[in-house]
Amino acid sequence: MDQAIKSFAEALEHSKVGIFFYAGHGLQVNGANYLVPVDAKLTTAVALEFETVRMDLIQRTMERLTETNILIVDACRNNPLLRSLARAMGTRSMQIGRGLARQESGVGTLIAYSTQPDNVALDGEDRNSPFAEAMLKFIDAKGEDISSILISIRNDVMRKTQNKQIPWEHSSLSERFYFVPPMPVIPSDAPIPSPATVTRLSDDPRLELELWGAVKDSQSIPMLQAYLQRFPQGTFSGLGALRIAALEIKPPTLVRPEYPKPAVTPAPTRSVIRQTQKELKRVGCYAGPVDGEWGDLGKKALLKFADLKGLSQILSGPGQAAVDALKIEKVRVCPLECEEGTKADNGKCVAERPQNNAPAVAAKPPARSKSKSKVVERQRRQAVRKAPEKKKWELCFGTRNEVVNCDDGGVMFRIK
């Protein structure tokens, strides 16, 4: 697909007229028209930019390279991929419209749709759509310019669809364009062959047929002119004149364009790298600093995200595509990885608590400082010095086998 667009653009560089015809599925998102190739799936929002071709890009390329451009698009049909794209978009601020959006043409450009903007065209019962059948019917009308041909196509489609489908065009052409030019005008002073000569040359149909068979597919104008000189009123004289006119105009070959690959991808700016780091951190894939420097941590984080979301073929480095893909995700993507001795708790790594059956560690008594111990010892000594001395007493033996206090005679105990 990329090679076809490149070939088409290269052909435009050497042409005066560019013709682009597309028949297939198309859609409009936020007012922009996208042409959908047959292998597109559109299962994600990012796929819209990578699996489709923007029509305005094709128009700008043609207008930059050629003076006259014709874009005919039969792509306003009911697209079965709209549902999958709508599911992929979710609640994002993207508006998917019916058919194709109105697209203005620049100077020297004509844009034709198979139906009006914001409407869906019919596929038709046969192999071709009503619009394509009408094109095949009128496009080779001799001497009719493109505007007249589109009027005939519009009337034919409206008649077949009972006015349900109305082809539309927007033209800024600065000159008439013909698919089959009118017959060249013969100068008034050119010699008119005599009837006798014409009759004599036309009486030999085998010679005319052999000569026409030899030159009909030739790309040489002199060889075709040789046939007209021998048979100016021959059976194939009209076709010969048309072949000469077509070779003089050299209309470009209709080529299906494809989106060109950029020659060089510009290096991402620090601002884009910071946005990529910020979004990677938000979805839980990046633990480094948001500093605009792209290193191994960022590469591993983006690779992890791309693998988890199936975008490894698309996201190869920091850039706007990576930022857009990351912004789509509203929740954490990469699982939280905690170090040994910690565990995940509400999106954070916290220290693990000891189990209930683990033996409790006895708490050590607080160490007493040396200065405090000295103060306590000094206070104890002072208390000992201040304490009153106990009065000493003596025991004496009294009568009746009694032991008494010698001072007051109180009986202490008796001896039996």
What is the 8-class DSSP label of residue 76? B
Cβ-based neighbour number of residue 37 at 10 Å? 14
- Give the least confident one: 29-38, 167-176, 264-273: 264-273
Edge-to-edge, what's the strand order for the sheet holding 32-36?
53-54, 32-36, 25-29, 96-97
**Helix or strand (DSSP H, E) at 314:** none
Q: What is the pLDDT of residues 200-233, one digit of tens each?
A: 444 467 677 777 888 878 788 888 888 888 888 7
β-bridge partners, 205: none
Confidence class for position 30, pLDDT limits 50, 70, 90: confident
Of residues 79 and 272, the one with the higher pLDDT is: 272
Return the bridge partners of 342, or none: 351
CATH code for the domain defined by 2-171: 3.40.50.1460
The pLDDT of residue 110: 96
Tens-place pLDDT, residues 95-153 = 778 889 999 888 999 999 999 998 888 877 777 889 999 999 998 888 899 999 999 99
Residue type for position 413: F
CA distance linking residue 244 with residue 359, whole number of Å: 104
The answer to whether the beta carbons of residues 40 and 47 sit under 8 Å apart is yes
Residues 309-359 have pLDDT tens digits of 877 767 778 888 888 888 888 888 888 877 777 777 776 777 877 666 555
For the chain, domain boundaries: 2-171, 195-249, 270-335
Distance of CA 4 to the CA centre of its chain: 20
| 21 three-state secondary structure | strand
Per cent of the chain over pLDDT 70 is 75
CATH topology match: 2-171 vs 270-335: no
Contact 342, 352 (CB under 8 A): yes
Tokens representing 316?
């190869």
Instruction: Evaluate whether 33 touches 103 at the Cβ level (below 8 Å).
Output: yes
pLDDT, greater one: 387 or 231: 231
* HSE-CB for 315 with a 13 A CA cutoff: 28
For residue 371, is pLDDT > 60? yes
If pLDDT is split at 50, 70 and 90, which confidence band does 368 have?
low
Would the pLDDT of 198 be above 50? no
Fold of 270-335: Muramoyl-pentapeptide Carboxypeptidase; domain 1 (1.10.101)
Rounded to an integer, what is the distance from CA 73 to the centroid of its chain? 22
Closest C-alpha to 47, from 85, 79, 78, 76: 85
Q: How far is CA 414 from CA 62, 203, 393, 400, 407, in A?
A: 139, 183, 18, 8, 17
